[in-house]
Amino acid sequence: MKTLLVKYTPREEMSNSKKLLDIFRNEIKNSEVEVLDLCIDVPDMFDVENMSAYIHRNYLKEEISDAQKKVLAKMDRMTRQIKSADIVVMAFPMHNFSTPAPVKAWFDSVMLKGQTWDAADGKYLGLMSGKKALVIVSSGGLYTKEPMIHWEHALSLAKVEFQFMGFSDVRGILNGGMNAGDEIQSENLLNSLEDVKKIAKEWYGN
Ligand SMILES: Cc1cc2nc3c(=O)[nH]c(=O)nc-3n(C[C@H](O)[C@H](O)[C@H](O)COP(=O)(O)O)c2cc1C
């Protein structure tokens, strides 16, 4: 079994998301662990060249040149990596109500047609069935009540991406209120910590 930890925690030791991911990592048993740090290994974004190569290869099923293969190489590497994992655990902060740009670029890199999802007869098909994913997001504000519940596009987006790829078990922890005062911050972090441990115990046993 292999677990892939995908992190984007630029506040490093100050990061609450990193703290929660570290707790999860301590609970992992009987699994190889691989870490992808998106602060260091920054995913490519789509541009004119790699978009063209991607469409010609993955949608039009054409042969592409070596130069075109090269511009897709990082996306292909990250796609091979997610395909090799049985469990994917992500941790990152909410930035401007959504996922930070490198996290979105990672999803764009691994959600390659014909690799992690496909389409046939007008229907989409996730190719990652049997796999599990957990997304841990920290936010300064709280998103549990009206009207703020509609402003949350970080955890909800990441969960949809995994569901679209066909992951069988997709969980999420929104560690909210990290800038909402000491009392709320410590209470919510403690609850998130318990949730992280509970999911790890369920997935890896005691
Ligand atoms: C650039 C930036 C944008 C942010 N945007 C939001 C936001 O839209 N909503 C929110 O609730 N918190 C926002 N925050 C606060 C962080 O989500 C919060 O501090 C969180 O705890 C950071 O995660 P970390 O502790 O893992 O570093 C933002 C922080 C930064 C630095």
Measuring CA to CA, which residue among 180, 197, 192, 182 is closest to residue 142? 180
The helix (run of H) or strand (run of E) holding residue 22 is helix 16-27
Structure tokens at 10: 């630029």
End-to-end CA distance of the chain: 16
Does the C-beta of 94 come closer than 6 Å to ligand 1?
yes
Q: Of the CATH numbers 3.30.70.141, 3.40.50.360, 3.40.50.150, 3.40.50.970, which one belongs to the domain with range 2-204?
A: 3.40.50.360
CA 143 – ligand 1 centroid, Å = 13
Furthest-apart CA atoms within the chain: distance in Å: 59
Structure tokens at 60: 């039009």
- Cβ count within 10 A of residue 156: 16
pTM over 0.95: yes
Asked if residue 154 has pLDDT above 70, the reply is yes
Asked if residue 16 has pLDDT above 70, the reply is yes
Q: Can you tell me the distance from the alpha carbon of 72 to that of 60, in angstroms, rounded to the nearest whole number?
A: 15
CA 145 – ligand 1 centroid, Å = 18
CA 15 – ligand 1 centroid, Å = 10
Using one digit for the tens of pLDDT, what is the confidence trace for 113-150? 999 999 999 999 999 999 999 999 999 999 999 999 99
Contacts of 193 (CB under 8 A, 6+ apart): 19, 20, 23
Structure tokens at 7: 């992190």
Structure tokens at 86: 């049985």
Q: Please, are residues 28 and 16 in contact by the beta-carbon 8 Å criterion?
A: no
Does the C-beta of 93 come closer than 6 Å to ligand 1?
yes
Using one digit for the tens of pLDDT, what is the confidence trace for 158-204? 999 999 999 999 999 999 999 999 999 999 999 999 999 999 999 99
